[in-house]
Structure 1
Amino acid sequence: MADNTNEKSGARKIDYDFAAHERPLFEAWKDAGYFQRGEGFGAKKGQPYTIVIPPPNITGVLHMGHALNDTIQDTCIRRARMQGRPARWILGTDHAGISTQTKVDKKLADQGISRLEIGREAFVEACYDWYKEYGTTIVNQIKGMGCSCDYDDEHFTLEPAYVKAVRKLFVDWYHDDLIYKGKRIVNWCPHCTTSISDDEAEYVDEAGHLWYLRYPLTEPEGDLEYLVVATTRPETMLGDTGVAVNPKDERFKHLVGKTVKLPLVDREIPIFADWHVDMEFGTGCVKTTPAHDPNDWAMGERNGLERINIFDETAHVVDGYGKFSGMDRDEAREAVVAAFDELGLLDHVEDHDHSVMTCYRCHTKLEPWESEQWFVAVDGLKRDAARVVEDGSIQFHPERWRQVYLDWLENLKDWCISRQLWWGHRIPMFYCDECGWEDASVEDIEACPVCGKPVRQDEDVLDTWFSSQLWPFATMGWTEEGVDAPEMRAAYPTQVLSTARDIMGLWVARMVMASMYCTEQIPFEHVIIHPTVMAADGKPMSKSRGNGVDPLRLMEDYGADGMRFGLLMQVTGAQDLKFNEAKLESSRNFANKIRNAARFVMMNLDGYEPGEPAPSTPADRWIFSRLAGLVARLDAAFDGFEFGEATRELYAFFWNEFCDWYIEFSKARLGAGADPADRLACQRNLVFVLDQALRLLHPIMPFVTEEIYQELPIDREGAPYLIGAAWPDAQELAKYADAEAERAIEMVCETVSAIRSTRARYGISPKSELAVVVKADEADAALLEAQRGLIEGMGNTASLAIGAQVEKPAESSAVLGAGLEVYLVLSGLVDLDAERERLAKEQAKLAADAGKLEKKLSNPGFLAKAAPEIVEKDRAKHAELADKLARVEAQLVELG
């Protein structure tokens, strides 16, 4: 395979057609039924293991967050499947209310029409057409990752059974007084013309102003003719119905109960006291607009203020306000400020930076707007949702998210579930305008049960999160048979939910609330909150920043295995993951290392006869003991959902221990003239360890491991594919644990590494023999002495002395290991005087360069003015120089 450079990514790419190998394997697994829940594969059976995929939006395409989360879920499900558990990963997509409606609106606009022209029924049909055409895009991309979902039982949040489940929950909650309709302040998007939940609002920092406006007192108090209020939104003063002060504020206590004349609209409004007012903000007097601010709404409720809505659904001033009527918010702001200025009532203006809420879909500024909406009374639901986390029935990973979840629940207010859209679950409320009858119903109602007249259904649809909260059980037969559905009885609750932190409240908590109400069971046992994938500089990935990374391109360059393993390698306990593409290149190289190691084993199987492994030599016993320890550590890592730790353990074992050492130890035993019995034992051991390693790697790197597994000379009758092979048994492998062999070979590796590193450091040819002295305590020296042949063969030594009393030879280098001192005689091989002179010059240059950088980094002026990335780059360079300097100085000391 030739190397080339990928022009798009700049990454070195090996000419290996990943897709050509990956697609056939994926189809083979799928056709063989491994993705479906069955009786399990392999010898062992166990409890069912189920994961529900966080349903991606039908408008979506694969992004890095999906790639990480889907890798985590597939790793869990593949390992459970190999453990013999009937495993199923439930697949499905979400109808994505606002997002899909926006896409279809745009498509219609491009055709010169609007949904208002074609009507609701035709628009919904257009949405379904869009779904049929584009809704499978992300599912096909997930397949490209090798995700072993149950594709034969895919779900959609607008499929008939799911619709019925959503309507049933609405009806049950409505009849249990957990759902009500009322006028409240909501976050309103004037562009999408719908309400948005608090958790879906995005906050954007904005450079703004604080306008100080004079409100004349109806009856002046001596020299005091007006109150000055400070506001960031002067346009909303048209809807003011009060001015608030703090009850403790002595400046205004005497004015409480009096009134001011609201300028421009000539409305008399009261001055009242409320504890919400911050005496330190502005002047301590707060204009109160109950219909356009949630805090003002609460003060208005407490103090009996009138609520006046000055905006329509597109945030234009309504009729009745003279020249201001018909203006949008920005125009009204400018006009109101100008009018105050003309009247001499604009006191002054200050700069004031603040955060504004925007729509998470269209990024329009949201308007706090009073409207009639449907709400869930969450107090009747959140108690159980908190209890099952507090008592450990549901566990969070990392554990710190447990308290975040509980805090979110504690502060949860009634949830606005109505959306003013056409695409989605239409609210199943029916009204008779003739006699006033109304009720919720799972089935459609056409005629009033009281008077027989036609009824109408509520125009709004439900919040997407309302429908998605049923996802764990509505996909398992609950709709028709409830908790008695066969799949519910067999496989509920599910085992794992993996998701991002930003929907922990929006989705995770609501799934728990809905499941506790509908099934009286938790929906899942474990919640994995995976890190958010950020750009390399730590900033969020986004199209606007141009720093996003396309997983499809990564799979082209590195293969699905390389992308999956490289992503998990970057997972730590941190909240965010700074994406490093070099890790994927390393992982692709690792995949090729696995191929090359397998090729070596396969090429050295002449005369091979299958049989039980027989770890007879210390090297055999070492690798078998290391394998036993690896399986135990991996079980602990996977059970604790420590995926980054698992990848690092796998990488270290396969690359460092199996490839770099055990295969090297084996070469002499496989070569010409080797003892036939020992050769066969070595072959069997190599095949066994390779087979076990492939099984351990498979959940994360499914394709390369399956490809090699198909070529292994092993009995595959019970497991024709690696996806269904048994996961290595830690208890069974524990019989191979051998601390003495591990210590002996560890010392061999350290000694040989010391010899090789010294050759590299001083430019000594591998063909030149070295005199080596190893100092260790008596027990270790005895173990190492027994492995003399390995050291001499791999180190090309002229002589080898091992003991507890040996001394450091003259003109020798020293390498310290764990409990070892390795001395290598350099006289006759290295011009020591010339080497000292070269090192002294290098030391001087490094010291000078490090000194300049240190001076620069200690300069407060530089630190204050330089960009953070420049400072960080210089610090990294200084650390690198300091490390090189320390190593050069160590070599000088070594040479005397």
Structure 2
Amino acid sequence: MTNLPKAYEAKTVDAKWYQFWQESEFFKANPLSSKKPYCIVMPPPNVTGALHMGHALVNTLQDVLIRWKRMSGFEALWVPGTDHAGIATQTVVESHLKKLTGKRRKEFDREEFLGHIWKWKEENQHRIINQLKALGCSCDWSRERFTMDEGNNKAVRVAFKRLYDEGLIYRGDRLVNWDPVTQTTLSDDEVEYEERNSFMWHFKYPLSDGSGYIHIATTRPETMLGDTAIAVSPKDARYSHVIGKKVRLPLMERDIPIIEDHHVDPAFGTGAVKITPAHDPNDYQMGMTHKLPFINIMTPDGKINENGGTFAGMTLAAAREAVVAEMQKQGFLEKIEPHVNRVGVSYRSKAVIEPYLSKQWFISMDGFAIKLRDAVTSGKVKLIPKNWENTYFHWINNLRDWCISRQLWWGHRIPIWHSLKDPTIQICYEGEGVPPEVAAAPEDWRQDDDVLDTWFSSALWPFSTLGWPEKTPELNRFYPNSVLVTGYDILFFWVARMLLMGEHMMGELPFPETFLHGLVYAKSYWRDLEGGGIAYVPQEERNIYELGKPVPKEVKFRYEKMSKTKGNIIDPLEIIDSYGTDAIRMALCASASQAREIDLDLRRFEEFKNFTNKVWNGARFVMMNLEGDEKQGSTPLTAEEFSQGLTENLLALEDRWILSVLNRTIASVNTKLNDYFFDQATLEAYDFFWKEFCAYYVEIAKPTLFGKIGTPEERKNKQKLLVIILLHAIRLIHPMAPFITEELFQSLKERLNGLVVEINTGQTLDPYTTEAITALNSVACIVAPYPQVIHSNFSNSKIDTTFAFMESIVYTIRNIKGEVKIPSTTAVEVHIIIPDDHPHKQTIAQNLHIISALVRISYIQLHATDPAELEHTSASVGSVEGLKVMVPIPAELLQQETARLAKEKEKLTLLIEKLSGQLANESFVSNAPPELIDKQRTLLSQAKEDLQHILHKEM
């Protein structure tokens, strides 16, 4: 066999194995399989989007679960798909067409414009799909879905019709969140809030009878054009004499009443509140209660309409200035005060959201709140981490009817037809095309112009992707899904609505668990500018700091959400190109704690690129050392020899120890993945390979492999065990780093001649070899069995204790070398003084090779008492469980060590004097807190122990 190349080339390996997996149809799930089902539906990314780090995170985590479950014997289905993303896609295409043709959306015919979007979708959809494939996503691509494909269109129509027929969908004039840029309504959850510096304007309105004024304060002076009342608290004595009177609304010259309402806070502002029911959610409720007129003063594109009198045609911002100027001119402006406003903005266009009275379609939430609360309180659905439950319940407790209509062209058009002859007649139709009544007389009907909220179709995703409303084998087998993995930021947008729709349409909640991962943050770096403001550093400079160059004092930094403005976007495709796919996947998994914020920087990716190189080099070493050596007279390990299994009586302490650690790691990684601790699972697998396997076991095995110690039979046993451990390790890591592990798995198969062995049930074969042969009989690592704990008499807890004892001797020698400043590459003499009756004397004598392999040693000897040959030799001494470890100090370092010990002794002596004096002081002991006294006593005890250690070394 050709040895592995010296360097790992990620780009070559990644492309080769993804194509192999796809062609071998390993990603496909069979709904008729007898295996236990496991299903995840992908949170669908925007169809015209590009892969960002949030996509990379959520899809890596899902792929880890799918690969883990697939290898664990489940029929694992991961359904991929993309979202039509109504507002986002329409906005992008509209902007594109404006540049291309100079025409805006409404200058096109509706069908013509939709044709452009469909063309754009077809041209761009492949981009993010290919990027997900580059990430290694093992989705069943034969089941790829789109939220506006034929199947989903039918699912949406059927769901809408059912809710409509049940009286849960209604149309009404309601105050909605209006985006004047995209000219559509948004749900409450699509509105983000910002703190902005503004003003509070204080006006006076004249009483209609000329008896005085009433004083009001407002943050939105332009809305006074639509005022229909002034409200005061019934408990506010200042205004009891004016309740029932009217005021003359300045600028509009109409009379409006003064009403009393218990919702008015007498302590806020002047205690008198202007009421604009058509442009404020609180005022809307008050307007309904008191049957006030609703005067809309805004056009859909955010300008003052004809109800604004002389201000008609102005933008809202211009109208604000004009109203304030006119109020001042007429003597009605009293003062202006600085004020911080909480302003709602569109999560898409970033436009300021305007409360706007319009006719919209809603789903009544009456009755759903109880079910949504019960889903979590009953434990039927677990939110992970659990601390998201309080946020979820807060949302449920403030649930309002869901506005499902959007004033867009791109999306699922509402399947309602209105009669042009009788406005009270409408038809809801779930079939394709138009209702028979409409087909018979199309001139008498008009389909509703609005489309559905994107989240309506997304709420059906867990079952519509499986074929609903048809009764498909997939739906029967894979619903409910096994888990949902998504960011916490769409807990309300999506997760809660899937629970709602799943329970209502299917009679069963869509998944038992939801893992809500944190959002990805990256460092932004900036300099403060003179006179205020900041300047973010260029990308090139940022990258230098990211990779470890010290940050100058004048440069400040912090982790923030990624944004182009801040220059802290980390492009996953660039990371894949620079570091490899496995490195980005492992870095993301290792960072995915159950916290709200996931902090990333380039050093994290560098760390895991180094790890993939370590895995490669470790595996390469193992495979190179399966060969024979003519000088040693050794022969290569053959497949036949491997299949004969391990020889138990040839297993050394380190062999039994590594099997014990492997078992513990396997158990822990499986548990951590089951509990969605992706970071801990990844880091434990990382530590096992790098530390226990490479840094310890491989180093200890080298003398045997190189023929320096042991017999040929022991060498063969070590080779077999190295294959077993490596085979377990690469399968353990595979879900997180699938490409390099597949390459190594296939290399092992090739090295063992494509080993296929029928295990004879009558054959006495150790369980490790049996499991390894089963794994190697697999076609690929992706479908090989995931490691499970193996119970055998090869290892036990006593083995761990014994090895830990040997390890402590190694640590002691390393510490001595470090203290004396002996380079780690310099070999030293070691003398271990251990009484004959010491319980570990035989263990040390049998395992001196462990010490020699892990520390550079020129000579090592055991003694029952202090050796005479060292009586006049300066040596540094350490102690381990009743034995002494002595390392003679080279002459050139003796003076340096003597000075170090003297300095340390002086420091400890002074500390002991200080602490002893303090604790002998009755005043201190009587008045100091007990915890401080205990702390000082502990410090004194430790200082005395350290001093004895120094004195012992001086001897």
Q: TM-score range by the shorter chain?
A: 0.7 to 0.9
Could you tell me how far apart the structure 1 residues matched to 2:575 and 2:393 are? 37
User: 2:314 aligned with 1:327, yes or no?
Assistant: yes
- Find the counterpart in structure 2 of residue 439 from structure 1: 427
- Find the counterpart in structure 2 of residue 691 from structure 1: 727
Alignment check: 8 A CA contact 2:31 2:474 kept = no
Alignment check: 8 A CA contact 2:517 2:594 kept = no
- Find the counterpart in structure 2 of residue 85 from structure 1: 74
Could you tell me how far apart the structure 2 residues matched to 1:520 and 1:375 are? 22
User: Secondary structure of 2:258's partner?
Assistant: strand
1:33-48 equivalences under 5 Å are 33-38=25-30, 46-48=35-37
User: Secondary structure of 1:479's partner?
Assistant: coil
Q: Deviation at 1:842? A: 12
Query: Structure 2 vs 1, CA of residues 833 and 343 (structure 1 numbering), >3 Å: closer, same or farther?
Result: same
Alignment check: 8 A CA contact 1:770 1:825 kept = yes
User: 2:809 aligned with 1:751, yes or no?
Assistant: yes
User: 2:3 aligned with 1:19, yes or no?
Assistant: no
- Find the counterpart in structure 2 of residue 114 from structure 1: 104
Q: Which of residues 610, 622, 635 in structure 2 aligns to 1:589?
A: 610
- Find the counterpart in structure 2 of residue 791 from structure 1: 851
User: Secondary structure of 2:201's partner?
Assistant: strand
Moved more, 635-644 or 109-118: 109-118
- Find the counterpart in structure 1 of residue 699 from structure 2: 664
Q: Which of residues 254, 261, 264 in structure 2 aligns to 1:277?
A: 264
User: Secondary structure of 2:255's partner?
Assistant: strand
Could you tell me how far apart the structure 1 residues matched to 2:404 and 2:352 are? 20
Q: Deviation at 1:782? A: 5.6
User: 2:715 aligned with 1:679, yes or no?
Assistant: yes
Could you tell me how far apart the structure 2 residues matched to 1:893 and 1:792 are? 28
- Find the counterpart in structure 2 of residue 150 from structure 1: 140
Q: Deviation at 1:691? A: 0.2
Alignment check: 8 A CA contact 2:372 2:496 kept = yes
Alignment check: 8 A CA contact 1:614 1:685 kept = no
Q: Deviation at 1:835? A: 4.5
Q: Which of residues 624, 639, 643 in structure 1 aligns to 2:678?
A: 643
1:150-299 equivalences under 5 Å are 150-221=140-211, 225-299=212-286
Query: Structure 2 vs 1, CA of residues 227 and 751 (structure 1 numbering), >3 Å: closer, same or farther?
Result: same
Task: Provide Cα deviations, 1:530-569, integer angstroms capped at 9, x if missing partner.
Answer: 1111113221111222211100111111111001111111
Give the aligned residue type for 2:66. I
- Find the counterpart in structure 1 of residue 407 from structure 2: 420
The TM-score with structure 2 as length reference comes to: 0.82
Q: Deviation at 1:830? A: 5.4
User: 2:47 aligned with 1:58, yes or no?
Assistant: yes
Give the aligned residue type for 2:567. G
- Find the counterpart in structure 1 of residue 921 from structure 2: none
The TM-score with structure 1 as length reference comes to: 0.88
Query: Structure 2 vs 1, CA of residues 816 and 297 (structure 1 numbering), >3 Å: closer, same or farther?
Result: farther
Could you tell me how far apart the structure 1 residues matched to 2:817 and 2:189 are? 61
Q: Deviation at 1:525? A: 1.8
Give the aligned residue type for 1:689. I
Could you tell me how far apart the structure 2 residues matched to 1:838 and 1:275 are? 79
Give the aligned residue type for 1:366. I
Q: Deviation at 1:383? A: 2.5
Q: Which of residues 606, 610, 613 in structure 1 aligns to 2:642?
A: 610
Alignment check: 8 A CA contact 2:700 2:849 kept = no
Q: Deviation at 1:59? A: 2.4
Q: Deviation at 1:831? A: 3.4
- Find the counterpart in structure 1 of residue 116 from structure 2: 126
Q: Which of residues 722, 737, 752 in structure 2 aligns to 1:701?
A: 737
Give the aligned residue type for 1:547. N
Could you tell me how far apart the structure 2 residues matched to 1:412 and 1:805 are? 80
Give the aligned residue type for 1:635. N
Q: Deviation at 1:15? A: 7.6
- Find the counterpart in structure 1 of residue 520 from structure 2: 533
Query: Structure 2 vs 1, CA of residues 456 and 648 (structure 1 numbering), >3 Å: closer, same or farther?
Result: same
Q: Deviation at 1:799? A: 4.3
Give the aligned residue type for 1:701. A
Alignment check: 8 A CA contact 2:832 2:861 kept = yes
Task: Provide Cα deviations, 1:193-238, integer angstroms capped at 9, x if missing partner.
Answer: 00011111121221100000111112355xxx11111111100000
Could you tell me how far apart the structure 1 residues matched to 2:304 and 2:387 are? 46
- Find the counterpart in structure 2 of residue 831 from structure 1: 893
Give the aligned residue type for 2:15. R
Please report the RMSD computed on the Cα atoms of aligned residues, expressed in angstroms: 2.9
Alignment check: 8 A CA contact 2:699 2:853 kept = no
1:811-826 equivalences under 5 Å are 813=876, 823-826=885-888
Structure 1 gaps of 5+ residues are: 1-13, 845-887
Query: Structure 2 vs 1, CA of residues 218 and 417 (structure 1 numbering), >3 Å: closer, same or farther?
Result: same
- Find the counterpart in structure 2 of residue 31 from structure 1: 23
Alignment check: 8 A CA contact 1:317 1:324 kept = yes
Could you tell me how far apart the structure 2 residues matched to 1:388 and 1:803 are? 70
Could you tell me how far apart the structure 2 residues matched to 1:365 and 1:662 are? 63
Query: Structure 2 vs 1, CA of residues 216 and 598 (structure 1 numbering), >3 Å: closer, same or farther?
Result: same
Q: Deviation at 1:251? A: 1.7
User: 2:289 aligned with 1:309, yes or no?
Assistant: no
- Find the counterpart in structure 1 of residue 631 from structure 2: none
Alignment check: 8 A CA contact 1:64 1:549 kept = yes
Query: Structure 2 vs 1, CA of residues 812 and 288 (structure 1 numbering), >3 Å: closer, same or farther?
Result: farther
Q: Deviation at 1:408? A: 1.7
Question: How many residue pairs get matched?
Answer: 830
Give the aligned residue type for 2:707. A
Alignment check: 8 A CA contact 1:628 1:736 kept = no
User: Secondary structure of 1:181's partner?
Assistant: strand
Q: Deviation at 1:814? A: 5.9
User: Secondary structure of 1:831's partner?
Assistant: helix
Q: Deviation at 1:150? A: 0.9
User: Secondary structure of 2:474's partner?
Assistant: helix
Could you tell me how far apart the structure 1 residues matched to 2:687 and 2:161 are? 56
Give the aligned residue type for 1:495. S
Q: Deviation at 1:278? A: 2.2
Moved more, 772-781 or 652-661: 772-781
Could you tell me how far apart the structure 2 residues matched to 1:748 and 1:357 are? 64
Q: Deviation at 1:768? A: 3.8
Alignment check: 8 A CA contact 1:565 1:587 kept = yes
Task: Provide Cα deviations, 1:159-189, integer angstroms capped at 9, x if missing partner.
Answer: 0111010011111101101111011111101
Could you tell me how far apart the structure 2 residues matched to 1:22 and 1:530 are? 26
For the pair shown, which has the larger CA radius of gyration, 1 or 2? 2
Query: Structure 2 vs 1, CA of residues 388 and 829 (structure 1 numbering), >3 Å: closer, same or farther?
Result: farther
Moved more, 255-264 or 704-713: 255-264
Could you tell me how far apart the structure 2 residues matched to 1:573 and 1:409 are? 23
Could you tell me how far apart the structure 2 residues matched to 1:213 and 1:306 are? 22
Q: Deviation at 1:775? A: 7.7
Structure 2 gaps of 5+ residues are: 1-5, 524-557, 628-635, 757-775, 907-945
Query: Structure 2 vs 1, CA of residues 577 and 40 (structure 1 numbering), >3 Å: closer, same or farther?
Result: farther
Query: Structure 2 vs 1, CA of residues 272 and 435 (structure 1 numbering), >3 Å: closer, same or farther?
Result: closer
Give the aligned residue type for 1:331. A
Could you tell me how far apart the structure 2 residues matched to 1:123 and 1:379 are? 38
Moved more, 15-24 or 283-292: 15-24
Q: Deviation at 1:720? A: 1.2
Could you tell me how far apart the structure 1 residues matched to 2:511 and 2:104 are? 43
User: Secondary structure of 1:255's partner?
Assistant: coil
Could you tell me how far apart the structure 2 residues matched to 1:455 and 1:315 are? 30
User: Secondary structure of 1:379's partner?
Assistant: coil
- Find the counterpart in structure 1 of residue 916 from structure 2: none
Could you tell me how far apart the structure 1 residues matched to 2:143 and 2:664 are? 39
Give the aligned residue type for 2:714. D
Query: Structure 2 vs 1, CA of residues 259 and 778 (structure 1 numbering), >3 Å: closer, same or farther?
Result: farther
User: 2:325 aligned with 1:338, yes or no?
Assistant: yes
Could you tell me how far apart the structure 1 residues matched to 2:126 and 2:325 are? 53
Give the aligned residue type for 2:721. N
